């Protein structure tokens, strides 16, 4: 599919006066990382992520038909019950970017009400779940105007719109493993939207766990958007994009053959390569904290001592995502509680696992 397939033409808002739509949309954690992009939100390399379950955003979009067509967007934003004018510029930019694909936006007044299942300042990126939730709400309005739309088109366009809000958000529509970015080894893959990993996944990855250790609950020093830009003149950029694309081929084999040792090698290398890009950009920066490194070393010691398949990955922050298979949950949970949570801010951590994707909760 191309961009033009997502342009809505021939529609009428004549029979639609007002309504309210709620979506619950998960966060995701990348196994092979997206870091570096071109306009408009086209990734420099392919990425793949586990969709999560317990970390989600709940967004209600209320819409009301305007009396006459207007030239600007009109919306209010509430986050966890509080009016948030400082969230408006990001949403206005998103609306501007997607307007050509959903031209009915200016026909309505909107109220966006959003809340996260995870603490706001936990350092967990909320843009993936937040932007995908808003994209899905907008798609539900489009579905009202065009009831013939198929579910496949609905999901593809929701992911396409979400990508224009935040790149990783395009991987938060469906589950359990989502690929974003053209890749010869992944059938149906696209730079424009995320697709479900198309091959049969080995049972070792069923119900995979992700316990998120909240090492630093503060705001990030450097946003992902700024980080992506630093890849423009990065001395190692081309090598990094090639490494990630090669890792997609490797992890694709691993997902099918269930080789957990290889899985660990790819996932941990990806996390450290992402942070190595940050440390070698100009300007350089470090998002890991001393406790991030302490946890990584503890995980390595534990793995050597027990032959467990525990491993870690990192987002663009100090928190550590601890990944492990379902059949090790008791062993690893004990280890986390007894040995790792002491390195978390106020002992905070979140038990999550692979999930199946977003869910519409209501449409009135
Ligand atoms: C490190 O999707 O937050 O989490 O497209 O600028 O909104 P924007 O960036 P964003 O970047 C996420 C980067 C990452 C890796 C990943 O999720 O693949």
Three-state SS sequence of 189-242? CCCCCEEECCCCCCHHHCCCEEEEECCCCCCCCCCHHHHHHCCCCCCCHHHHHH
User: What's the gap in Å between 219 CA and the centre of ligand 1?
Assistant: 15
Q: How far is CA 21 from the centre of its chain?
A: 21
Asked if 321 and 137 touch (Cβ cutoff 8 Å), the reply is no
Asked if 214 and 318 touch (Cβ cutoff 8 Å), the reply is no
Ligand 1 neighbours (beta carbon < 6 A): 30, 33-35, 41, 47, 125, 127, 166-168, 224-225, 228, 274, 315-316
User: What's the gap in Å between 169 CA and the centre of ligand 1?
Assistant: 8
**ipTM for the complex shown:** 0.99
Structure confidence at residue 67 (pLDDT): 83
Q: Quick one: CA torsion of 26, 129, 79, 64, rounded to 10 degrees?
A: -100
User: What's the gap in Å between 30 CA and the centre of ligand 1?
Assistant: 9
- pLDDT tens readout for residues 113-158: 999 998 766 667 689 999 999 999 999 999 998 878 999 999 999 9
Number of H helices, E strands in the chain: 8, 14
User: What's the gap in Å between 241 CA and the centre of ligand 1?
Assistant: 15
Q: Of the candidates 123, 127, 128, which has an alpha carbon nearest to the alpha carbon of residue 348?
A: 123
Phi and psi (nearest 5°) for 55?
A: -90, 105
User: What's the gap in Å between 148 CA and the centre of ligand 1?
Assistant: 33
Tell me the two tokens of residue 108. 């309505």
Please count the other Cβ atoms lying within 10 Å of the Cβ belonging to residue 1. Answer: 14
CA distance 251 to 263: 7
User: What's the gap in Å between 10 CA and the centre of ligand 1?
Assistant: 34
Which atom from ligand 1 is nearest to the alpha carbon of 127?
A: 3
Asked if 181 and 306 touch (Cβ cutoff 8 Å), the reply is no
CA distance 271 to 1: 31
Which atom from ligand 1 is nearest to the alpha carbon of 28?
A: 17
Asked if 101 and 58 touch (Cβ cutoff 8 Å), the reply is no
CA distance 144 to 141: 5
Is 0.90 surpassed by the pTM of this model? yes
User: What's the gap in Å between 166 CA and the centre of ligand 1?
Assistant: 7
Structure confidence at residue 123 (pLDDT): 66
The residue contributing the CA closest to ligand 1 atom 3 is 224
Which atom from ligand 1 is nearest to the alpha carbon of 37?
A: 5
| Site to substitute for ligand 1 among 28, 31, 34, 132, most atoms within 8 A of C-beta | 34
Which atom from ligand 1 is nearest to the alpha carbon of 163?
A: 5
Tell me the two tokens of residue 323. 């990944």
Q: Residue 78 forms beta bridges with which residues?
A: 83, 113
Structure confidence at residue 190 (pLDDT): 98
Tell me the two tokens of residue 63. 């819409």
Which atom from ligand 1 is nearest to the alpha carbon of 47?
A: 18
Structure confidence at residue 122 (pLDDT): 66
CATH class held by domain 3-199: alpha beta
Asked if 206 and 72 touch (Cβ cutoff 8 Å), the reply is no
The residue contributing the CA closest to ligand 1 atom 4 is 315
The 3-state DSSP class for residue 112 equals strand
User: What's the gap in Å between 70 CA and the centre of ligand 1?
Assistant: 33
Structure confidence at residue 362 (pLDDT): 82
Structure confidence at residue 121 (pLDDT): 64
Which atom from ligand 1 is nearest to the alpha carbon of 165?
A: 7
CATH 3.30.230.10 occupies which residues in the chain? 3-199
Q: Of the candidates 59, 64, 95, which has an alpha carbon nearest to the alpha carbon of residue 79?
A: 59
Which atom from ligand 1 is nearest to the alpha carbon of 41?
A: 5
Contacts of 5 (CB under 8 A, 6+ apart): none
For every one of its 364 residues, what pLDDT tens digit does the chain have, with 9 covering 90 and above?
Answer: 899 999 998 888 878 889 999 999 999 999 999 999 999 999 999 999 999 999 999 999 999 999 877 788 999 999 999 999 999 999 999 999 999 999 999 999 999 999 999 876 666 768 999 999 999 999 999 999 887 899 999 999 999 999 999 999 999 999 999 999 999 999 999 999 999 999 999 999 999 999 999 998 777 678 888 999 999 999 999 999 999 999 999 999 999 999 999 999 999 999 999 999 999 999 999 999 999 999 999 999 999 999 999 999 999 999 999 999 999 999 999 999 999 999 999 999 999 999 999 999 988 8
Asked if 263 and 254 touch (Cβ cutoff 8 Å), the reply is yes
User: What's the gap in Å between 128 CA and the centre of ligand 1?
Assistant: 8
| Site to substitute for ligand 1 among 26, 228, 241, 245, most atoms within 8 A of C-beta | 228
CATH class held by domain 204-353: alpha beta
Q: Of the candidates 89, 123, 98, which has an alpha carbon nearest to the alpha carbon of residue 319?
A: 123
CATH 3.30.70.890 occupies which residues in the chain? 204-353
Tell me the two tokens of residue 361. 């909760």
User: What's the gap in Å between 281 CA and the centre of ligand 1?
Assistant: 17
The residue contributing the CA closest to ligand 1 atom 7 is 166
Helix (H) or strand (E) holding 184: none
The CA-based angle 141-143-145, given to 5 degrees, is 75
């Amino acid at each position: 599919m191309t961009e033009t397939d997502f342009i809505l033409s021939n529609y009428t808002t004549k029979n639609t006066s007002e309504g309210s739509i709620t979506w619950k949309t998960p966060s995701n954690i990348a196994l092979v990382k997206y870091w570096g992009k071109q306009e408009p939100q086209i990734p420099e390399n392919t990425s793949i992520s586990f969709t999560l379950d317990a970390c989600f955003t709940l967004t209600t979009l209320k819409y009301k038909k305007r009396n006459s067509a207007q030239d600007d967007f009109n919306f209010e934003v509430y986050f966890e019950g509080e009016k948030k004018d400082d969230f408006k510029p990001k949403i206005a930019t998103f609306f501007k970017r997607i307007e050509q694909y959903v031209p009915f936006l200016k026909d309505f007044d909107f109220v966006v009400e959003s809340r996260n299942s995870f603490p706001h300042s936990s350092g967990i990126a909320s843009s993936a779940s937040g932007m995908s939730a808003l994209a899905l709400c907008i798609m539900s309005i489009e579905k009202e105007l065009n009831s013939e739309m198929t579910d496949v088109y609905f999901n593809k366009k929701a992911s396409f719109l979400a990508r224009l809000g935040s790149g990783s958000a395009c991987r938060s529509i469906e589950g359990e493993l989502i690929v974003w970015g053209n890749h010869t080894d992944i059938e149906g893959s696209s730079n424009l939207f995320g697709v479900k990993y198309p091959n049969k996944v080995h049972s070792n990855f069923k119900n995979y766990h992700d316990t998120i250790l909240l090492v630093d609950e503060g705001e990030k020093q450097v946003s992902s958007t700024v980080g992506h830009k630093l890849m423009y003149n990065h001395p190692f950029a081309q090598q990094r994009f090639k490494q990630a694309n090669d890792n997609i081929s490797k992890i694709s084999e691993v997902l099918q053959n269930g080789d957990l040792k290889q899985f660990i090698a790819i996932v941990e290398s990806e996390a450290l390569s992402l942070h190595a890009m940050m440390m070698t950009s100009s300007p350089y920066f470090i998002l890991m904290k001393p406790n991030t490194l302490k946890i990584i070393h503890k995980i390595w010691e534990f793995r050597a001592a027990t032959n467990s398949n525990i491993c870690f990955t990192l987002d663009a922050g100090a928190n550590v995502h601890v990944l492990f298979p379902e059949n090790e949950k008791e062993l690893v949970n004990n280890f986390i509680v007894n040995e790792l949570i002491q390195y978390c801010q106020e002992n905070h951590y979140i038990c999550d696992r692979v999930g199946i994707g977003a869910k519409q909760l209501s449409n009135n």
